[in-house]
Amino acid sequence: MHATIQRYAPSGAFGPLTLVYALGSLLAAVLLAGVYMLLLDFIPFIYASFLLTAGFGFALGVLGSKTVTSGHCRNRTLALGLGLLLGAVGLAASYGWGFVLAIHEATSNYPGVTFSELAQEASFKGWLDARIEGGWKVGKGSTEISGIGVMVIWFIEAAIVVGAPVLLSMADAAVPYCESCQAWTKSQGSSLKGLTREDVQPVLDRGDLAGLLTLADHPDAGSAHRIQLLRRYCPRCANTAFLSVNEIHTVVKDGKQQENKVELLENAILPPKLSTQYLERFMKPEQEDASAASAPAA
């Protein structure tokens, strides 16, 4: 399938500042871990804890994403390593901050004993054992989650905190990049209304991107089906462009519209001639309409 269609593949290169940005992100991850543990301590409800964990994982993911894009990293292996390191450092730092906060809170129960003295007497393992034994109370019935239940929740926490930066970092490293201009591509979209996968699949199987761009909307343009055409392009030159094709089916579920997407083609290399054809068909009318709307009345 699509044997004659060439697709984008990351070059594996990365900018020299990637490692500098990575160091900054790791330091930020340690600080975010402290804020995360403070909030967990301030809001000791397990349901809120899940939301805070998701937020912490997302924040680490944003750090990974920014490192990849700012460092011009097109190396997915490096992005994977960065995501894993960010997640692991953030998770480890959260446990370290949790231990420090617990010792600080305990000093109020031992007048005359300093933080340093208590920290030397206590052990990290003892603190972990106390957390496993103490667990959480859930609901009005004061159902307790402790022991193995705590470790299961910790495993879920680790999966979120480490998984988010890994996924976001690798996804951004795979975004098409213009090697000539050293720039990330931008995206713009259009649709063939009323068409389905059956309408475009034979064209794609032939590798006929030019034919794809000449397909007309279905007479039943109000149909719940459409073919989405996403063009990624270099903002600095006209030589680099890619085309992705998706089938979109709009359904109504529980009174709300929901779009189901099926990927048919991802980041096919779009030659300059076909890129111009795309713009002339899908973008030019919109630009003319926008110009007319902004023009002063005679």
Distance CA 177, CA 232 (A): 9
Distance CA 233, CA 10 (A): 15
Quick one: pLDDT at residue 133? 73
Can you give the pTM of this predicted structure? 0.81
Helices (H), 174-227: 197-205, 209-214
Distance CA 183, CA 188 (A): 16
Quick one: pLDDT at residue 292? 41
Distance CA 173, CA 185 (A): 12
Phi/psi region, residue 105 (left: phi>0; alpha: psi -120 to 50; beta: rest), is alpha
55 lies in some domain: yes
Quick one: pLDDT at residue 125? 81
> Is it the case that residue 14 has pLDDT exceeding 80?
yes
Give the mean pLDDT of 206-233.
Answer: 88
pLDDT tier for residue 252 given thresholds of 50, 70 and 90:
confident
**If you search the block for the tokens 């997302």, which residue do you land on?**
58
Question: CA dist 153 to 110, 125, 146, 228, Å?
Answer: 31, 18, 10, 40
Quick one: pLDDT at residue 295? 45
254 lies in some domain: yes
Statement to judge: residues 169 and 52 lie in one domain: yes
- C-alpha 270: how far from its chain's center? 25
Statement to judge: residues 39 and 69 lie in one domain: yes
User: 22: domain range?
Assistant: 18-175
Q: Within 13 Å of residue 154, how many CA atoms lie on the same side as its CB?
A: 16
Distance CA 292, CA 298 (A): 12
3 lies in some domain: no
The count of domains in the chain is 2
Lowest-confidence range among 145-154, 157-166, 175-184?
145-154
Statement to judge: residues 151 and 193 lie in one domain: no
Statement to judge: residues 57 and 169 lie in one domain: yes
Statement to judge: residues 54 and 147 lie in one domain: yes
